[in-house]
Amino acid sequence: MGWLMGFNRVGSVLLAGSLFTCNLFGVALSIEILSAYPRSLAKDYYIHRYLTENNPTGAEAWELLGQVSRMSNTLLYAFGDTVEEPGFKEAIRCLRLKTEDFIKASVDCQAIRATPYVMLSLEKSQQERLKTRLQKAYPELFSWLDPLLSTTPLQAMLENETKHFLYLYTSGGEAFRKEVLNQPLSEETLLTLSTQPLFERFLTQVVFERTQTNVAASLLALSPQKAPSLSGQSAFLLGLNALEQTQKELALAWFDASFKSAYNRQDKDRALFWSYLLTKEEAYLKTLTQSFEPNLYTLAARERLGAEEFEVASPTPTVSALKNYSITDPFTWRLTLEHIRKSEDLGVFSERFFTEETLPQYAFIKERQERFQTPYFITPYAQHLEGLAPKRKALILAIARQESRFIPAAVSTSYALGMMQFMPFLARDIAKKEGIKSFDIDHMFQPKIAYRFANIHLDYLESWLYHPLFVAYAYNGGIGFTRRMLTRGDLFNEGPYEPFLSMELVPYAESREYGKKVLTNYIIYSRQAGLNVSIWDLFQSLSEPAATDRFRSAK
């Protein structure tokens, strides 16, 4: 562990020998080894493996608890199964209680678990008894129980300057919102709510759940003039809401407001594109062609106007590898990130990584050096994709770019691993089905394995889904999520603003934006491969499901 001595001298030792030879793959983990590593997602991942695979003592787990970088539910429950400290163990037990045990628990335990959603799942008599207990023990903490359990919840929630309304609305569950809270709200109430922190979450639930029709109609009373300080996302949601209720002029006003207040480039381009869809004025498309960022909206604008395609960077190094640098070690990548954050000359630093093996690290640094003005669409480790059809190659590259920017040692907050960000359970399942002996999930840090497993998984996803956008949704949100969304029946049908409206109404935010970015990547990589891919053709086919979409054909 002598390499740790150089950790605070990153600039001088970053390329110095032993610093990058500390991969934990195949190492018998111990408290001493784990404690020597710096806090990071990588360390959290190995702590989780140690807790679940090594049967540590309660004292060992307690020692590691203080070394966690980011506590996820997965890691929290792993500690709960091992730590013997009474207070901590009891808190985890309370969080896991089933309803029948929850109502019999101590008041302190109930206070840990009690939420609006949990309270509404109880019978009326149970609610009243629990309310009395909780308010006696923690009167300030549970003042929201009075309006929630009132005989007229909405009216009670709107009293006292709407203090509890947004919290209870957004935390009570969709059934509560649809069956109890779906009543008209006054303009005065909405203006008051619009200044509160949870207002954007409230709008998100109204717009995406599409079941609170009376609340949605009430939102038409708002306008950019009356609520000028809303975020770009809130303004966009109000635009979608107005559009769904055929208030075209109001929708256009909200999209203009979204463009003006949006922070990131894609959100500004999204607002411009929607203004084009509503007006068909080419001026919006021309403005989109000036955007520096390749995304679905700018690609569509350039194709529709016949403008030049984006200039993307696809460098091809001639040096094979960077000496003493482990691309498969997540701690090495963590240390590299640390230096990127501290470096005063990223240009010089990036050149060290201009090799075939470290091309992802090079592109990652260059994008930041150039303030994301140059889009990098690299094709690293292409030798492991030989023999695949061009469309499949393009899709794998598109997903890898979005998942990890091709960093082989990437670890996510949910402990998805490697370039293709495989969850351990899925990686193990594929390895078992493929008959791979002595498989360890750290193998997912190897580009060859990552690409191979991605190709296998895409075979499965494409047996159900005909379109790369739908495949992207399933890769990110899971096949179950995608099945439920497509069989719900209200998305990706024919309509005046389809498939664009459906693409904006995908209910899971991460998958919604992920799908857009993967489809953007797919188009660019397809064109790099010489394929004649039209974004507008792909848009059109989204509302014309093919027979291979087994979800819908089986409905």
Distance CA 424, CA 411 (A): 11
Q: How far apart are the first and last CA of the chain?
A: 58
* HSE-up (13 A, CA, CB side) for residue 210: 15
Chain centroid, CA 14 distance in Å: 31
CA distances (Å), 350 to each of 276, 346, 364, 554, in order? 40, 6, 9, 52
Distance CA 487, CA 8 (A): 54
Element (H, E) at 391: helix 390-404
Distance CA 328, CA 445 (A): 5
Phi, psi for residue 57 in degrees, rounded to 5: -75, 165
- Please list the alpha-helical segments (H only) found in 210-247: 213-218, 232-244
Separate counts of helices (H) and strands (E) for the chain: 34, 0
**What is the token pair recorded at 323?**
């000496």
Question: If you ran DSSP here, which 8-state letter would residue 56 be given?
Answer: -
The tens place of each residue's pLDDT in the chain, 555 residues long, gives 333 333 333 333 344 433 344 567 777 889 999 999 999 999 999 999 999 999 999 999 999 999 999 999 999 999 999 999 999 999 999 999 988 899 999 999 999 999 999 999 999 999 999 999 999 999 999 999 999 999 999 999 998 768 899 999 999 999 999 999 999 999 999 999 999 999 999 999 999 999 999 999 999 999 999 999 999 999 999 999 999 999 999 999 999 999 999 999 999 999 999 999 999 999 999 999 999 999 999 999 999 999 999 999 999 999 999 999 999 999 999 999 999 999 889 999 999 999 999 999 999 999 999 999 999 999 999 999 999 999 999 999 999 999 999 999 999 999 999 999 999 999 999 999 999 999 999 999 999 999 999 999 999 999 999 999 999 999 999 999 999 999 988 999 988 999 999 999 999 999 999 999 999 999 999 999 999 999 999 999 997 755 335 555 544
Chain centroid, CA 166 distance in Å: 24
Non-local (6+) Cβ contacts of 338 within 8 A are 10
Distance CA 52, CA 46 (A): 10
Among the listed residues 289, 305, 253, 292, the one whose alpha carbon sits nearest the alpha carbon of residue 274: 253
Question: If you ran DSSP here, which 8-state letter would residue 340 be given?
Answer: H
Distance CA 267, CA 264 (A): 6
Chain centroid, CA 544 distance in Å: 27
Q: What is the pLDDT of residue 49?
A: 96
Phi, psi for residue 411 in degrees, rounded to 5: -130, 130
Place of tokens 């792909």: 538
CA distances (Å), 203 to each of 264, 422, 477, in order? 20, 32, 22
Among the listed residues 494, 465, 493, 495, the one whose alpha carbon sits nearest the alpha carbon of residue 481: 465
Question: What pTM was computed for the model?
Answer: 0.93
Distance CA 48, CA 97 (A): 22
How many residues appear in the chain? 555
CA distances (Å), 259 to each of 243, 267, 300, 502, in order? 16, 7, 18, 20
Distance CA 396, CA 427 (A): 16
Chain centroid, CA 229 distance in Å: 26
b (16+ CB within 10 A) / e for 421-449: bbbbeebeebbeeeeeeebebbbbbbbeb
Extract long-range pairs of 374-378: CB within 8 Å, 24+ residues apart.
Answer: 374/312, 374/313, 375/293, 375/294, 375/310, 375/312, 375/313, 376/312, 376/313, 376/314, 376/315, 377/312, 377/313, 377/314, 377/401, 377/521, 377/524, 377/525, 377/528, 378/313, 378/314, 378/315, 378/406
